[in-house]
Chain A
Amino acid sequence: MIDFIKRASVVALVALLSAPALAATQLTGAGSTFDNPFFSRAFYQYNQMHPDVAVNYQSIGSGGGIQQFTAKTVDFGATDVPMNADELNRAGGNVLQIPVALGGVAVSYNLPSIHSGVRLTRDLVANIFLGRVTKWNNPQIARLNRGTKLPDLSIVVAHRSDGSGTTYIFSDFLSHISPEWKSKVGTGKSVQWPASSSVGGKGNEGVAGIVRNTPGAIGYVELAYAIENHIDTAALLDQAGDWVNCSKPTVAAAAASKPNITAQDFSIVDAGGRRAYPIAGYSWAVVYRDPSDKNRARVLRDVLSWLVGGQAQGIASSLNYVPLPASVQRTAISVIRQMSV
């Protein structure tokens, strides 16, 4: 009798533990918050099509993603800036970096009575974030916005307080257009903000919150975020002298101006193309070239190949990302093929 109970409980235990193993392979990934809406939707779709594969992605930020990837606690990381030489070294080299998503960074503002179409030149954006221009009714802004009554309001700069790929793209843009920014502040996932009245917020949602609640605030958030939260965004002047809003076509134009990117040469800010929005960038998945578990590696390779392909990029487009240009898709596929499985 006792023997029977023992046997039955073992069977029950095995059944309990194997019940969730509907998904024969569970992959985990971590990193960029920017990628999260896209990834969660895409991997859900993939699981519907391949019930034996479940991809669990958690958005802990680009920096955290690189760290967990380096600690090998996840199968892949995701970051809005490719890993640099230092980070690659720490991960033991042999890392493949694959462009998987493309998006724009919108300059958002809060002016109580003005809800659309504030125009800013690239220099002016730099001067505002340098703390040179401190009032909304500054003549430099007023000259660009005739017909709009700008208030006598102090400008509050809202920025990310955490290490962020969005900050990297935005500071990269400022470094491109302002030598002073480049020498004084530079480009990075977190930088020293020089403007005297500046406030930090955690994550895109933190910056958006500050902008929403502070009249006179200006900040930078990813396009999808600005659209979902109905935050006003500024039009910027592109290199050709046209006013461009942050939108899917203008970000696509920026990407089209540089069809060949690599993990070392990836910046598409201040792009030269026609009607190209000047603040945009790619997000990257990072994987090991030679993972020890070949079964998982094969599944991961299939998932990533699908992710950069037409169907998944269509999902991205429906969520206000910009689909990867064909040339970048080809680059991505050729990198994925280097995985040894």
Chain B
Amino acid sequence: MKSYRSRRIADAVGVTWSFLCAFLAAAVLLIILGYIVVKGAAAINWQFLTQLPHPVGIEGGGVANGIVGSIITVGIAVLIASPIGIMTGLYLALFSRGGFASTVRFLSDVLSGIPSITIGLFAYALLVAPFKHFSALSASFAFAVLMLPLLVRTSEEAIRSVPRAILEGALALGMTTFRSTLRIVLPVAWPSIVTGLLLAIARVAGETAPLLFTAFGSPFWELNPTNPMAVLSLQVFTYAISPYRSQNVQSWGAALLLVVAVLALNLLARVLLRTRIRAAP
């Protein structure tokens, strides 16, 4: 048997090592955030947030159309994906039995592993090529497909975590299954479902790959989702590889906006989750 001393040393080494690894994991995020803030803060001003992009060689301009475009594309994606995702979660958690449910669960897991650019190509083949027209709608569709597996999983978990006794109590009082699901189960699970939705939004808001052949980008104001549209993450990409310094700086600025938005969504999700935990003693 090893001596007490050598075991103490092994323990210290192990703890230090795991601490260092944990520190490293956190440091990577902090370094990225810090770098984006340092590089991007210079670009951000009122004009940057409210103006259209200027063509190269003309200083100034902003990414206002990209901000609006991101909100529109992601918004439509939420409208497409959330009913399907939440209903699927509901089905899996409450009404499913046996093989079909596990098949759905398995397929949804596989879907979450498909590279986003592949899903972009799928959207292109389905919604762009046949109509011979790039559109924000096709981007929303790609986003929705990306969000779906996340929504299915989180909704299922959320609904499953509602105590069975509550549902049974409602049924015992004579409520129909439909009403008890709608009025009892869903409200209790709702904060967790919304949290999942926010995380799914955060996940897709920064995606660029599925946009290249769907949203296409635009230098103009565009509110019509059947037209090509500017999206913030796409602007980050095009400006980053531009030969012009002023656009490179704007790329960092747009990246900062995206990171702040995603961070805010994540924090909001945490706050929601916490209130839920407090509300359900």
A56 touches B132 (CB 8 A): no
B244 touches A44 (CB 8 A): no
A37 touches B238 (CB 8 A): no
Q: Which of A20, A47, A203 is in CB contact (< 8 Å) with B241? A: A203
Q: How far, in angstroms, from A229 to B132 measured CA to CA in the complex?
A: 37
Separation in Å of the B88 CB from the closest CB of chain A? 29
Decide if B276 is an interface residue (CB 8 Å cutoff).
no
Separation in Å of the B4 CB from the closest CB of chain A? 53
A40 touches B55 (CB 8 A): yes
Q: How far, in angstroms, from A54 to B245 measured CA to CA in the complex?
A: 25
B216 touches A28 (CB 8 A): yes
Nearest-neighbor residue (CB-CB) of B56 within chain A: A37
Decide if B221 is an interface residue (CB 8 Å cutoff).
yes
| Contact bitstring B164-192, A, C-beta under 8 A = 1, else 0 | 00000000000000000000000000000
Nearest-neighbor residue (CB-CB) of A18 within chain B: B224
B238 touches A59 (CB 8 A): yes
| Chain A residues near B56 (CB-CB < 8 A) | 36-37, 40-41, 319
Q: Which interface residue of A43, A56, A224 has the most chain B CB atoms within 10 A? A: A56
B57 touches A37 (CB 8 A): yes
Separation in Å of the B55 CB from the closest CB of chain A? 4
Decide if B220 is an interface residue (CB 8 Å cutoff).
yes
Interface residues of A in 82-104 (CB under 8 A from B): none
Decide if B223 is an interface residue (CB 8 Å cutoff).
yes
Size of the chain A interface, CB-CB below 8 angstroms: 37
Interface residues of A in 50-72 (CB under 8 A from B): 54, 56, 58-60, 71-72
Decide if A228 is an interface residue (CB 8 Å cutoff).
yes
Give the dominant DSSP class at B's interface. Answer: loop
A40 touches B219 (CB 8 A): yes
| Contact bitstring B189-233, A, C-beta under 8 A = 1, else 0 | 000000000000000000000001000111111111001100000
Size of the chain B interface, CB-CB below 8 angstroms: 28
B128 touches A21 (CB 8 A): no
Nearest-neighbor residue (CB-CB) of A227 within chain B: B243
| Contact bitstring A20-36, B, C-beta under 8 A = 1, else 0 | 11110010101000001
| Chain A residues near B29 (CB-CB < 8 A) | none
A28 touches B228 (CB 8 A): yes
Separation in Å of the B142 CB from the closest CB of chain A? 15
Q: How far, in angstroms, from A72 to B228 measured CA to CA in the complex?
A: 14
| Contact bitstring B237-249, A, C-beta under 8 A = 1, else 0 | 0100111110000
Can you list 27 pairs linking A and B with CB atoms under 8 Å apart?
A17-B223, A20-B220, A26-B227, A28-B228, A37-B56, A37-B243, A40-B56, A41-B58, A44-B54, A44-B58, A47-B220, A56-B218, A56-B220, A58-B216, A58-B228, A59-B238, A71-B129, A71-B132, A72-B132, A73-B129, A73-B134, A205-B241, A205-B242, A205-B243, A224-B243, A229-B243, A318-B57
Q: Name 4 extra pairs, CB < 8 A, besides A44-B55, A205-B241.
A: A19-B223, A20-B220, A26-B228, A56-B219
Q: What is the interface of chain A, defined by CB distance below 8 A to chain B? A: 16-17, 19-23, 26, 28, 30, 36-37, 40-41, 43-45, 47, 54, 56, 58-60, 71-74, 203-205, 208, 224-225, 228-229, 318-319
